[in-house]
A and B are shown apart, each in its own frame.
Chain A
């Protein structure tokens, strides 16, 4: 990124190649909107190009990228005045597809579906911290830099989020017993 900053804009293609898949995953898990996630993905790279001079090189590129991605999501939510938790029902993964045949596969798909529903119930803050930790595999220190909070606060948020998720998910299991 430092090379991009000093004017070698073609190096951005390298960064895109390396990071666009996980970044798209983050945008999708946060909003559950496929098309909007692709627009936001392009927007994040566009903003990084435009504000390349603000990249100091002190923190690493990944945390800077997620920091910008969060702002892009915020703008998207503001524009569509829609909480990312209110996803389209058709976007719920875990549909019973042709590849699912045995009872165990169906059960597994349903468990995942219920978990996704539970994840959608969490507040955006809780959902975000879980996604960064679980799906993006960021360390606590990295999450702290992305969210601009202390490492201690990150730990508290993850702990609270996982407990909320557990409560919701296990409540559906208890009901079935």
Chain B
């Protein structure tokens, strides 16, 4: 039986938006109502977990760009006060667009890289470098082969964490062959753990230029039952602009028990792929 308690109060409890009286009423109610207690516990867990979603720092150079924009703007305001009407409009059109500041910063970076490349390329002896390079290439191949073996063996491990570690090895394998792709696709389709499947999907997207990977991904759409993987699949297909995915995505929509949010996402993906 469902209780008639105001569930919005349970949500407001999470972000500390209740008066002392309301908070006390929630606490008293959940102490005696099993359903509401479970609901609040689940919400609290997710609310707490959201705290761990990383917020990245703004990239280096953000402040420099802001200062450049502010200086340009100040100059334009000062010039505006002096300039006649037509010039004012032209300045607003061309100078004030932040895009110009972006283009300027990019130009500086490209020029810097070009200079570095030019200076770096002019030194060193070619013969000595050649032998070193060969040795390095041989070593790199050996390490890559070892990682491939490790990866395949970890993917068979009963622990989900170990399988995840196996998948993370793929980013360090330089040459991905057919057997690696097959191992990943099998994991994507058959692994019992939804997080492992999500991780595998992400790893596979790095090799999306390979036709076998694309075909495997499209085929896998119909095999996914978890809403999260289904949604991630729709994302990937849209990012890859994979038109072959339209058919299996449509088939997914025919499932009666498809999660409503996933349905929206799949419909939006199909609309953009057509």
Contact = CB atoms under 8 A, between A and B. Distances in A.
A164 B193 CA distance: 21
B193 A165 contact: no
Chain B interface helix/strand/loop/mixed: helix
B25 interface: no
Contacts of B14: 162
A168 B34 CA distance: 22
B42 A170 contact: yes
B225 interface: yes
Contacts of B168: 95-96
Interface stretch (A8-16, A54-62, A63-71): A8-16
A51 to B, nearest CB: 12
Given A103-B161, A120-B235, A166 B42 contact: yes
Nearest to A108: B52
A45 B261 CA distance: 34
Interface centre among A38, A115, A117 (most CB of B within 10 A): A117
B198 A155 contact: no
B56 to A, nearest CB: 6
A122 B194 contact: no
A149 interface: no
Contacts of A113: 195, 198-199
A9 B67 contact: no
Given A43-B98, A114-B195, A117-B232, A134 B73 contact: no
Interface centre among B62, B77, B159, B167 (most CB of A within 10 A): B62
B contact residues, range: 35 or more
Interface residues of A, number: 75
B55 A42 contact: no
Interface in B207-266: 225-228, 231-232, 235-236, 238-239, 259, 261-262, 264-265
Interface string B171-197: 000000000000000000000111100
Nearest to A40: B98
B259 A167 contact: yes
Given A9-B74, A46-B98, 17 more contacts: A25-B55, A34-B59, A42-B62, A95-B202, A96-B164, A96-B168, A107-B161, A114-B195, A121-B261, A121-B262, A123-B261, A158-B11, A168-B227, A170-B42, A172-B194, A172-B195, A172-B226
**What 9 pairs between A and B have smallest CB-CB spacing?**
A110-B195, A25-B55, A159-B11, A96-B168, A106-B161, A103-B161, A24-B58, A172-B194, A121-B231
